[in-house]
Every structure is written in structure tokens, then in C-alpha cells.
Amino acid sequence: MWSPVRRRALVGLVAAVCAAAVWAPPAQAASAKKSGSEIPSVGQLQVVNLPPTTTKPDRNAKTPGKPFLGANAKGLAKAKGHAKKADESAPSSTRGPLAGIFNGTNQPGVTAADEGFCCTPPDPTGAIGPNNYVEFINTTIAVFNRSLTQLSSQDMATFVAAPSGTNVSDPQVQWDPRAGRWFYAGIAFASHKNYLVYGWSKTADPNNLSSGWCHFAAFTGNQLADYPKLGHDDNFVLLAANLYDDTTGDYVFTTAAIWAQPKPPAGNLTTCVANGLTAFADPQHRLLNADGTSAFTPIPVNIADASPVGYIVAGHSPVAPLPSDPTGPQTNVMLWHTTLQGGQPHLFADGDLTVGSFDVPLSAPQPGGGPPIDTLDARLTQAVGHADPDAAGSEAIWTQHAIDGPGGRSVVRWYEILGATGAVRQQGTVQSAADFLWNASISPSIAGNDAAVFYNRGSATQLVAAAAQSRTSATPVSTLNAGELVLATSSDVDVDFSCSSPYGPPCRWGDYSGASPDPINAGVVWGTTQLDGQSFFGFPQWVTQNFAVTTSGTPPPPPIPCTGVTWNAPSPASPQAPGTQITFSGTATGCPHAVYQFWVQPPGGAWTILQAYGASSTATWNTAGQATGTYIFDIWAKQSGSTASWEAHISPNPTYTLQTGA
């Protein structure tokens, strides 16, 4: 979220309205789930295609931006002042194995120094894919290999092709194993000129930040879509945010909102089209909790496996978003779900789920008695979903928030919610007898019945640390394995200019962190969080840390290599006339998560790549303009994440003939 400091993005925009296109979702993606009260759509937003830009925005150190936007500023300040000891109802931790670092993967990420000390906080998040880790913060997107060696990076405003004269903020990024591509979201904004920006990679490879992604913007006018969140299911990219009216410059909360964007077709993309961004709330049609109060900070779930149903969760706000809403401790989390019906997205309200009482936490003190650090306002900040075999295979939603705890200290409350029934299967607390905990994130691994929780921990005697705890299938319900894994520790107290008037106290922090399941290795969760480097005359001093953690402390076995790949009959069959579109496919054996690369050799010519490595086992050959003759093909296959050029290929090579009159 934009803090007291962000930068102005001065990049060009050619606002070309996307051409109309018919989106035809696969029949098997439709969902039978129709429970809950349906929330009618309020229409579709106009989406523009943002062309790539090479213009880097002007950036000045310590540039002020918009403040943290809570439900309401006075209510939040009052709640922080009245935070007190809360009843502790969650079970205590039990003895068990520590979480462990996976394959030595725990390295510093992007820092404030990398971008000229311009902005705070960094809003750090990240996601792991088959071959890469992508870190996305308010100033930068950076692509790493699985050893966390940086391969490429780009300024955020340049990457999202931000409309001219706008600032950018609140980045989100996710890997979708079903689509075999990456998704991102954020906001671009200026007074009365606000956009929800989002897009996706053209292939499974995120490295080409200049031209390997599609970029879109939905104009929201005077409504700033603050704290945007990203999720997905088999059918839709889901977006959600809190809307604030900037007409008077005071950012007045109007409603939370949810949008559903049809996912692009599978396979490598050569064009960028986004149609049908359906809205389910606006200031005239407010998004409500089941009890009629205002919904606040809805979080679409990052679903890491197959699910034709999408989910969104939101904690009831202890700070009243509108004067008609209640203030004080809350005991509910709201659940919605989306389905595909009649070729269109439908949103259903599933109801308020009862959880333990929670309230706004106190800000975290720092050594030396300086200004405290912001622990936010008890909102949920992220959610990850995966089927849980310990819950009969039900799609489970893991989410968390920092809340008030015993002794006035902030603690992290986490939940496992079963989407189909709305049951709160688990509810636990991460806490310290001496320190404050905040800025957390949680994710299961692809095993589905384990999880890792990441968080910051600090106090008047403890510099802020990044730490993790975990649980496995054998851990008692609603508990974590005892023993904390410390990932890194800050080198100084936070004294950047967000700590002082007119921007603070408290010092800005977060506003969130990231956690995502390794798509290859069961029992491994990756994350990104914030720490502080050395202070420097009030300039932003944040640093980020990227890491991978095993939930059991025992590293998983190495990936299994592919032992073979077979060539499937092409469609249509050979021969065909030039101009025909041909579909090829292959099937790898021996490896659970294969990636494929397709090759073609024209008559008398050299081998060229028809389709680069990706999760898709099919490739399309457009023969328009191709010469007649017999073409030779090959498919390379390897286990996702393998460093080999290939592990299996087609031998002997198959052929396909183009001939006139075929």
C-alpha cells in the first residue's frame, strides 16, 4: 500500500481499448457449486491494453505519497490507543520438528538502496514457479533462479506500463500451475485518475520483463482501488480492493469490491487480450458481510491446484469503515465463492464464519525508545488454497492476520477454512512471551496437509527479525510445531522519515509479505518479507529477504527426471496444405512435473524452437506462408526445475508434410 512515500511514474500510455473477443471456457471448468446468496454483477469495467514502455520514471529520495488507508483514520488511531490484553483461546504449540531452510535458499532480496532510497514501505511479496522465484515490491520486479540468483529486474512503473502521470503501488504476483503462467496486479493512481493494473506472462518464463508479459488497466475514475489483492481458480483471475473516493483529496472509504477476469487460453500467447472484467460492487452497490456490515479488504485466494471454484475471504473490521458500522472486537470472517455459469462469472456470499475474538493490535516498540512500528489494523493480508487430504480432499484456504494479544502484544492468528462447507477446520496463534509479531503470511505446501507461517518479530529489546514456524499432518490440529526458525535479523532500528510527523508515528512497515507453495517439492514453502538495514539520515532503510522453508525440517528428495517422451498423433493428420493450423502434443513419462520444448526443422533448413519450455504439452504450428515439403519435429522434455537442457526427446524424429491440394 502507498505510504507516506512513493514515487511519481511518468511513462507513456497508448490507451487502446481491447478488441472484442469471444471467451470460450472449457466445459469441464464449470462448477456445480451454487450455494449461498448470489451477488449480482454491477457491469464490466473498460479495460485498456497497455503497450510496453522503456521510459523509467523520475524518482526522488524521500518522496511523499498517500498515507496508509485504513477503514477510517480517526477510528484506527482510537483503536490503537485502546488495544489491551485479550483472552487467549488458541491451544499452545506442541513439540515437533523445526521448520528448516530448503537447499540453503535464504538470501537478501531487493533493497531501498537499489532504487535510490525513494519509497517506504516496500510492500514486499513474491511467488515461486517451476524454474524461477519472482519478487515484486513497490519499486521493482525482480526474477531469480531457484538458488535466488537474480536474473533480471525492472522498475515497477515501467513493467506495468503505468499510465502517464500516475504513481504505482501495492504489487501482487502469483504462479498459476494450471495455466502455466504468472499473474500480477497493482494500482496506478493520480488525483481523479485511478487504475487497477494487472496482467500475465505470455509463457511460463517470467524473465522477459520488457516484452514477455501482457499489461492491462481498468479505469476506476475517482475511486482509488487501494490494497488490491490477487487470486485465481481454473476459470478466472480474481481481483479485490477497498475503494476510496479521492474527490476531496481525503480518500473517503466507499466500499470494498471484487472483480473477475476470464483467464487467457492455455499455451504460449502471441497477442494480449483481456475482455469481460466483471465487477461485483461499486459505491452504489456496496459489498457487505452476511450481517449487513461493510466488507473490508477482501482477499481472493491464490489456489495452487485444480479448482473450478474461486474463493474470497475478509475479516470483519474492528474499525468501522462507515459510520453505520460497528467498532470494536470482531468474531467473524466472511467467505464468498465464484463459479462459471453460462459462460459468465457468478459471485455468491457464503456467510460469516465464527472465529475467536480479535481486535486492532498495538504498534510494536523498538529498542532505544524510538517511534513504534505499525502492525496494521487486524485485516487479513493474503490467502493460499490447496486440497487437504486430511480434510477428505476439500479445497482448504489458509489465511492470517496480526491481532491484539496477551500483555498488549500483537500476535499472528492463522486459519484453515474449508471452502466447500465454510467450516473453520483450524485456528491457531503464533505468539511470543516478550515480543510483538506482525506482517505475517501463510501457505500450505503442495502436500496440502502442512503449512509454514512467516512473520516479523520485535520489541523494545529485540531488533526486528524474520522468522518461521510450521506444521505437518502429524501436528495436533490448530497448533504449530514448537521451535522457531530465525531467517534473518535487522541491523538497525527503523528511523526513516515515515516515523516522524507529518507521516508518523508509527513507522510504516510491510504493508504485507508473501508466501507460496513450491509447485515441484511437497513440504516446501517460499516467502518474501521486510527487514531494516543501517539507518541513513532518515532515508528509507528497508531490505527484503527471500527464502524457502521445509515444513518438516527434512529436505524433500531431488526431482525425478523424465525417462521418456512420446509423440501423439497431430491434428489434423499429415499431409495438409500450407495455411493449415496444426496442433502437436507429447506425453512425458517418469517425471511428475514435466516441461516441454517443441522443435521444427524445415526442408533443407536448420532446427528452430517452435515453442519454448513451458508446462503446456501441446504446441500450435501456424503453417501460413510455409513452403511445401516434409518438416522434421522433436520434443524435449525435462522435470520442471531441472538444470539439464533436456532429459528425454523423440527418437526417431517424426515428420509432417505440407503439400498443395492436400
- Determine the 3-state secondary structure of 364 from DSSP: strand
Mean per-residue pLDDT of the chain: 89
Distance CA 330, CA 316 (A): 6
pLDDT for 100 equals 94
**Cell numbers placing 373:** 512500528
Distance CA 102, CA 521 (A): 10
pLDDT for 77 equals 67
For range 419-437, the mean pLDDT: 97
Is the pLDDT at 13 greater than 80? The verdict is no
Report the share of the chain in percent with pLDDT over 90. Answer: 77
Distance CA 164, CA 63 (A): 18
Question: Where are any strands of DSSP class E within 316-422?
Answer: 330-341, 344-358, 383-388, 394-404, 410-418
pLDDT for 29 equals 43
- 194-218 pLDDT, tens digit per residue, is 999 999 999 999 999 999 999 999 9
Distance CA 107, CA 104 (A): 9
Instruction: Flag the least confident range among 96-100, 106-110, 137-141, 180-184.
Output: 96-100
> 65 or 599: which carries more pLDDT confidence?
599
In this prediction, residue 59 has a pLDDT band, given cuts at 50, 70 and 90, of: low
For range 475-500, the mean pLDDT: 95
Is the pLDDT at 160 greater than 60? The verdict is yes
Find out whether 550 and 99 touch, Cβ atoms under 8 Å: yes
Is the pLDDT at 73 greater than 70? The verdict is no
pLDDT for 79 equals 64
In this prediction, residue 616 has a pLDDT band, given cuts at 50, 70 and 90, of: confident
Distance CA 170, CA 112 (A): 16
CATH-assigned architecture of domain 564-658: Sandwich (2.60)
- 293-309 pLDDT, tens digit per residue, is 999 999 999 999 999 99
Return the number of other C-beta atoms located less than 10 Å from residue 553's C-beta. 19
Is the pLDDT at 446 greater than 80? The verdict is yes
- 527-559 pLDDT, tens digit per residue, is 999 999 999 888 999 999 999 999 998 877 777
pLDDT for 559 equals 77
- Determine the topology of domain 8-20+44-550 in CATH: Methylamine Dehydrogenase; Chain H (2.130.10)
Quote the DSSP letter at residue 536.
-
Q: Where in the chain is the domain with CATH 2.130.10?
A: 8-20+44-550
Is the pLDDT at 11 greater than 50? The verdict is no
Instruction: Flag the least confident range among 273-277, 341-345, 358-362, 547-551.
Output: 273-277
For range 636-660, the mean pLDDT: 91
Is the pLDDT at 474 greater than 90? The verdict is yes
Q: Where in the chain is the domain with CATH 2.60.40.10?
A: 564-658
Radius of gyration of the chain, Cα coordinates, nearest whole angstrom: 25
Quote the DSSP letter at residue 292.
S
Terminal-residue alpha carbon distance, the chain: 59
Cα distances (angstroms) measured from residue 655 to each of 178, 461, 575, 648, 662: 30, 70, 10, 18, 16
- 561-609 pLDDT, tens digit per residue, is 999 999 999 999 999 999 999 999 999 999 988 989 999 999 999 999 9
Output b/e per residue, 372-381; b: 16+ Cβ within 10 A.
bbbbbbbbbb
Is the pLDDT at 614 greater than 90? The verdict is no
Return the number of other C-beta atoms located less than 10 Å from residue 291's C-beta. 11
Most confident of 92-101, 224-233, 638-647: 224-233
In this prediction, residue 644 has a pLDDT band, given cuts at 50, 70 and 90, of: confident
> Which residues are paired to 40 by β-bridges?
none
pLDDT for 641 equals 74
For range 308-316, the mean pLDDT: 98
Is the pLDDT at 289 greater than 90? The verdict is yes
Most confident of 31-35, 414-418, 497-501, 549-553: 414-418
Return the number of other C-beta atoms located less than 10 Å from residue 147's C-beta. 11
> 85 or 370: which carries more pLDDT confidence?
370
In this prediction, residue 6 has a pLDDT band, given cuts at 50, 70 and 90, of: very low
Is the pLDDT at 656 greater than 60? The verdict is yes
> 609 or 3: which carries more pLDDT confidence?
609
Residue 273 backbone class (left: φ over 0; alpha: ψ -120 to 50; beta: rest): beta
Distance CA 399, CA 402 (A): 11
pLDDT for 97 equals 56
Instruction: Flag the least confident range among 147-151, 264-268, 361-365, 511-515.
Output: 264-268
Return the number of other C-beta atoms located less than 10 Å from residue 367's C-beta. 14
Report the share of the chain in percent with pLDDT over 70. Answer: 89
